[in-house]
Amino acid sequence: MAEADTTPPAANALAESQLALRDRLVDAGRLIPTGVAGLFGRDVVFEAVVSGVGALVAAAGEDDHPTRVSYPPLIPKVDFDKIGYLRNFPELVGPVFSFVGDAADHRAVVERLDGDAPYGDLLTQTEVTLTPACCYPIYPSVTGALGAGGAVFETCAYCFRHEPSVDPMRLQAFRQHEHIRIATPDEVLDWRARWLERAPELLSALGLDVISDIANDPFFGRAGRLMKMSQREQQLKIEFLVDVYGDEHRTACSSINYHQDHFGHTFGIHTDDGADAHSSCIGFGLERCTVALFNQHGTDVAQWPSPVRDRLGL
């Protein structure tokens, strides 16, 4: 006899809404399934919305004259390890492995392939890791004295997090568009205060129902519980949450993190007075915003309200 389903009804209802939204996007052709949860192709319409949102995120920070930089979706393993991602979020990481053996080692791999058996233990970790947040490659690049006024960067890249889900708002590979401030604590907090206004303005001008709230990162395990509490107490992470699955299940389309001196200390970045620089970043999840817009206005952009289409250049 099948065991009784013990999943609470609320969780079932939420999963059903997530599946329904995913199916709407797939049926309309906006997302192309690959067979792996959270890994999709995107059609040209989806990409047009992504570009429109990216352009708005760029424009919102223009007054700060950011230095625009691009990195591939990989960072050196040494930097990834220094940042502490594996320590804090072990179940999300994507280290890259490859084959470095000889002909005999290769025969062993092929045998596993032929037998449909796992072969991970025959591969070797490389010097690179998939980037989980697009600002990470920037901090190691600014080591040393920052100079007066500090630095502002803007970047966008694909990120990887191993969090397979039926929810089309939660992908394994997604783009972040970020603005990053590295400076004295006062300068960083001033910058953050401006984005606390800009971000909800940007999202609500697109017809999304958005609220701001204090949040925490999913730090792992027992030690992680304390880190979550301390992050909340100090209000280091603020999310801009949209209503896609009901008011009680809001999802972050954007979040702003204040790292204090974490990156400044780790990578030896100094302000004029010789102190470790502070930093903060605001990241917009481009696919999250895009999926939220399809949910809000429908999968056919021709039917979207014209002010929203105009804003996005559609």
Residues within the interface to Zn ion (CB under 5 A): 133, 135, 178, 281, 283
Contact 266, 33 (CB under 8 A): no
**Alpha carbons 300 and 314: distance in angstroms, whole number:** 12
Query: Taking the complex as a whole, how short is the minimal distance between the CB of residue 254 and ligand ATP, in angstroms?
Result: 5
Q: Which of 184, 254, 271, 295 binds ligand ATP (CB under 6 A)?
A: 254
Please identify, using beta-carbon distances, which residue of 112 and 262 lies nearer to ligand ATP.
Answer: 262
Please identify, using beta-carbon distances, which residue of 213 and 233 lies nearer to ligand ATP.
Answer: 213
Please identify, using beta-carbon distances, which residue of 85 and 267 lies nearer to ligand ATP.
Answer: 85
Please identify, using beta-carbon distances, which residue of 174 and 304 lies nearer to ligand ATP.
Answer: 174
Query: Taking the complex as a whole, how short is the minimal distance between the CB of residue 158 and Zn ion, in angstroms?
Result: 14
Please identify, using beta-carbon distances, which residue of 184 and 290 lies nearer to ligand ATP.
Answer: 290
Q: Please report the sign of the dihedral spanned by the C-alpha atoms of residue 311, residue 312, residue 313, residue 314.
A: negative
285 binds, among ligand ATP, Zn ion, none (CB under 5 to 8 A by kind): ligand ATP
Contact 51, 57 (CB under 8 A): no
Examine residue 253 and tell whether it contacts ligand ATP (CB under 6 A): yes
Examine residue 187 and tell whether it contacts ligand ATP (CB under 6 A): no
Question: Rounded to 5, what percent of the chain is helix, strand, coil?
Answer: 45, 25, 30
> Given the rule CB under 6 A, which of 163-171, 269-277, 294-302, 305-313 is the region that contacts ligand ATP?
163-171
Scanning 84-233, the segments in alpha helix (DSSP H) are: 85-88, 103-114, 138-141, 185-204, 221-233
167 binds, among ligand ATP, Zn ion, none (CB under 5 to 8 A by kind): none
Examine residue 50 and tell whether it contacts ligand ATP (CB under 6 A): no
Measure Cα distances from 191 to 187, 253, 257, 278, 280 in Å: 6, 19, 12, 12, 9
Q: Which of 285, 297, 299, 312 binds ligand ATP (CB under 6 A)?
A: 285
Measure Cα distances from 260 to 10, 174, 279 in Å: 37, 26, 6
Contact 67, 151 (CB under 8 A): yes
- Size of the residue set binding ligand ATP (CB under 6 A): 17
Measure Cα distances from 206 to 37, 198, 244, 259, 281 in Å: 28, 13, 14, 29, 22
Residue with tokens 């309309």, as numbered in its chain:
28
**Interaction pattern, residues 18-47, with ligand ATP; x per rule: CB under 6 A:** ------------------------------
Contact 74, 96 (CB under 8 A): yes
> Given the rule CB under 6 A, which of 223-231, 247-255, 267-275, 300-308 is the region that contacts ligand ATP?
247-255
Residue 109 burial (C-beta neighbours within 10 Å; 0-12, 13-18, 19+): middle
Q: Which of 23, 163, 243, 276 binds ligand ATP (CB under 6 A)?
A: 163
Examine residue 231 and tell whether it contacts ligand ATP (CB under 6 A): no
310 φ, ψ to 5°?
A: -60, -50
Measure Cα distances from 200 to 102, 211, 228 in Å: 55, 7, 24
Size of the chain in residues: 314
Please identify, using beta-carbon distances, which residue of 217 and 276 lies nearer to ligand ATP.
Answer: 217
Examine residue 252 and tell whether it contacts ligand ATP (CB under 6 A): yes
State the residues that interact with ligand ATP by CB under 6 A.
133, 161, 163, 170-171, 174, 176, 217, 239, 252-255, 283, 285, 287-288
